[in-house]
């Protein structure tokens, strides 16, 4: 029987995504640029540091998932604690108390991303276990991601607005205080949800290491596709501030561009959700990837002052991005919606989080040293060659990677259809 889920419950659940997204984009996008421009750190060093951090962070994600599955009954203890740790470490990341900036950067990123992982893995797992209805799973994911986009929109517009009136250091000091305010507001809202929702499937606390699942082939294939898709999305995420400032010379419009991208992503979520009800989620995800490639490839050819052209790219690629926010998690929820795999939900989402972070790590480790090797320097005068490499790395390379994820997704979808027809014919 399909359970009833109220809008109030969905909003309460999604509210936790606001501070998480607010912190996430600043940690993954703003922090490297902040340390490069404010403290003169090398792009190559930052790229390698991020690779090491993401590698460690990624390895611990499945472990966090496993431990979370064992300790679901303690979620009301470790989730609030993790949220507080995230707020403090985020504040300290942008307010270093030492001149050893690399050590401070590594330490604060590690602490904040560990807390971030605990929260996102458990938030996704709660959503996956809430309902067994496929459409409701997508609705739950949609509420979470829309709330997440609210946090993103605030995070991307605040620095630009604040820096009109104050220094970058002061602006990010205010950002840190803002996150602490969001945490204090969303904590009671999220935990107003009943224990039946937050602590669902608490019998999984009896799991032990030998009971970890053998990952089914279909989920392995899904993970590969997801990793490639995330790598394609992560490269522009790493380079977007450099591209806007150093290639387009439109730094004053950074907030507008990012606001347009993420707002259109929010608009795209209900569109993709509606399409996924009528068609296969895999097919709809494939359509969104095609749209992203067709639109984003043109960013390669932009040059100084191309404001409206880039704004259109942000708008259309943002709509495509909406599918990446909601469909992969919903697809994984469908794949694990069985008695055997559901009790390992946090473990599976831990792997998903690991792949997202590994993709970002590879994006930073590849793109930042590559740009530095070609003579690119952030916020400084650059040669035509260095800017061309920036454009190709930002616009063209992600599209090529995305093509591979499309081909694999199409192959997996066709295989799924073949299996269905074979089962149908055997039943006859």
The tens-digit pLDDT sequence of the chain (428 residues) is 456 788 888 888 889 999 999 998 888 888 988 998 899 888 888 888 888 887 787 788 878 888 888 888 888 889 999 999 999 999 999 999 888 999 999 999 999 999 999 999 888 888 877 877 777 877 888 888 889 989 988 998 898 889 888 999 999 999 999 999 999 999 888 888 766 677 665 444 444 444 556 788 888 899 999 999 999 999 999 999 999 999 999 988 988 998 899 889 888 988 998 898 888 889 999 999 999 999 999 999 999 999 999 999 999 999 999 999 889 988 888 887 655 555 666 678 778 878 888 888 889 888 989 999 999 988 888 999 999 999 999 999 999 999 999 999 999 887 655 444 444 344 44
Statement to judge: residues 129 and 238 lie in one domain: no
Statement to judge: residues 225 and 156 lie in one domain: no
* 208 domain residue, yes or no: no
How far is the C-alpha of 329 from the C-alpha of 162, rounded, in Å? 34
Q: Are 66 and 92 in contact (CB under 8 A)?
A: no
* 90 domain residue, yes or no: yes
Q: Are 160 and 28 in contact (CB under 8 A)?
A: no
Give the ranges where 279-344 is alpha helix by DSSP (H): 281-296, 307-335, 339-342
Helix%, strand%, coil% for the chain, nearest 5: 85, 0, 15
* 211 domain residue, yes or no: no
Task: Tell me how many domains the chain contains.
Answer: 2
Statement to judge: residues 147 and 174 lie in one domain: yes
* 1 domain residue, yes or no: no
Statement to judge: residues 72 and 146 lie in one domain: yes
Statement to judge: residues 93 and 223 lie in one domain: no
Closest CA to 317 of 343, 297, 347, 339: 297
The two tokens of residue 363 are 């994006």
Statement to judge: residues 166 and 297 lie in one domain: no
Using the 3D structure, point to which of 203, 237, 269 is the last residue of a domain. Answer: 203
Using the 3D structure, point to which of 203, 228, 248 is the last residue of a domain. Answer: 203
How far is the C-alpha of 50 from the C-alpha of 27, rounded, in Å? 11
Statement to judge: residues 196 and 243 lie in one domain: no
Statement to judge: residues 292 and 224 lie in one domain: yes
How far is the C-alpha of 309 from the C-alpha of 291, rounded, in Å? 16
Using the 3D structure, point to which of 162, 180, 203 is the last residue of a domain. Answer: 203
Tell me which residue range forms the domain holding 255: 217-427
Statement to judge: residues 195 and 221 lie in one domain: no
* 96 domain residue, yes or no: yes
Buried b (16+ CB within 10 A) or exposed e, 248-278: bebeebbbbbbbbbbbbbbebbeebbebbee
Q: Are 87 and 183 in contact (CB under 8 A)?
A: yes
* 2 domain residue, yes or no: no
Check which CATH number belongs to the domain holding 155 and give it: 1.20.1250.20
CA quadruple 80, 258, 281, 412: dihedral sign: negative
Q: Are 25 and 335 in contact (CB under 8 A)?
A: no
Three-state DSSP state, 337: coil
Distance from the Cα of residue 260 to its chain's centroid: 17
pTM of the entire predicted model: 0.76
Q: CB within 8 A of 167, min separation 6: which ones?
A: none
Statement to judge: residues 32 and 164 lie in one domain: yes
* 209 domain residue, yes or no: no
The Cα-based distances of 254 to 244, 311, 417 in angstroms read: 7, 10, 44
Closest CA to 298 of 403, 387, 368, 398: 398
Statement to judge: residues 187 and 227 lie in one domain: no
The Cα-based distances of 168 to 97, 159, 249, 322, 373 in angstroms read: 16, 8, 18, 30, 27
Q: CB within 8 A of 185, min separation 6: which ones?
A: none
Statement to judge: residues 121 and 65 lie in one domain: yes
Q: CB within 8 A of 145, min separation 6: which ones?
A: 14, 17, 266, 269, 322, 325, 326
């Amino acid at each position: 029987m399909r359970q009833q889920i109220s809008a109030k419950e969905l909003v309460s659940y999604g509210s936790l995504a606001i501070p998480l997204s607010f912190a996430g984009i600043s940690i993954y996008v703003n922090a490297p640029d902040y340390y490069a421009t404010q403290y003169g750190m090398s792009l190559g060093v930052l790229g390698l540091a991020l690779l090491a951090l993401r590698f460690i962070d990624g390895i611990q994600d499945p472990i966090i998932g496993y431990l979370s599955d064992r300790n679901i009954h303690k979620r009301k203890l470790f989730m609030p604690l993790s949220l507080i740790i995230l707020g403090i470490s985020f504040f300290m990341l942008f307010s270093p108390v030492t001149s050893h900036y690399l050590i401070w950067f590594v330490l604060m990123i590690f602490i904040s991303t560990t807390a971030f992982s605990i929260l996102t893995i458990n938030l996704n797992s709660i959503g996956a276990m809430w309902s067994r209805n496929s459409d409701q799973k997508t609705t739950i994911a949609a509420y979470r991601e829309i709330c997440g986009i609210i946090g993103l929109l605030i995070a991307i517009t605040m620095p630009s607005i604040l820096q009109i009136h104050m220094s970058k250091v002061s602006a990010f000091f205010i950002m840190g205080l803002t996150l602490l305010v969001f945490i204090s507001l969303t904590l009671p809202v999220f935990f107003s949800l009943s224990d039946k929702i937050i602590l669902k499937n608490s019998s999984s606390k009896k799991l032990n290491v030998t009971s970890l699942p053998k990952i089914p082939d279909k989920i392995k294939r899904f993970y590969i596709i997801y990793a490639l898709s995330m790598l394609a999305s992560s490269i522009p995420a790493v380079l977007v501030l450099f591209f806007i400032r150093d290639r387009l010379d439109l730094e004053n419009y950074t907030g507008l561009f990012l606001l347009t991208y993420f707002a259109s992503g929010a608009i795209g979520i209900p569109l993709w959700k509606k399409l996924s009800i009528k068609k296969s989620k895999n097919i709809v995800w494939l359509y969104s990837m095609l749209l992203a490639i067709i639109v984003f490839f043109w960013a390669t050819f932009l040059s100084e002052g191309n404001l409206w052209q880039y704004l259109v790219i942000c708008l259309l690629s943002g709509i495509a991005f909406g599918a990446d926010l909601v469909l992969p998690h919903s697809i994984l929820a469908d794949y694990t919606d069985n008695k055997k795999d559901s009790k390992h939900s946090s473990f599976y989402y831990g792997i998903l989080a690991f792949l997202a972070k590994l993709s970002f790590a590879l994006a930073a480790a590849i793109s930042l040293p590559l740009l530095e090797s070609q003579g690119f320097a952030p916020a400084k005068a650059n040669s035509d060659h260095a800017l061309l490499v920036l454009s190709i790395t930002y616009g063209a390379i992600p599209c090529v990677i995305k093509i591979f994820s499309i081909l694999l997704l199409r192959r997996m979808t066709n295989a799924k259809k073949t299996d269905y027809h074979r089962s149908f014919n055997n039943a006859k």
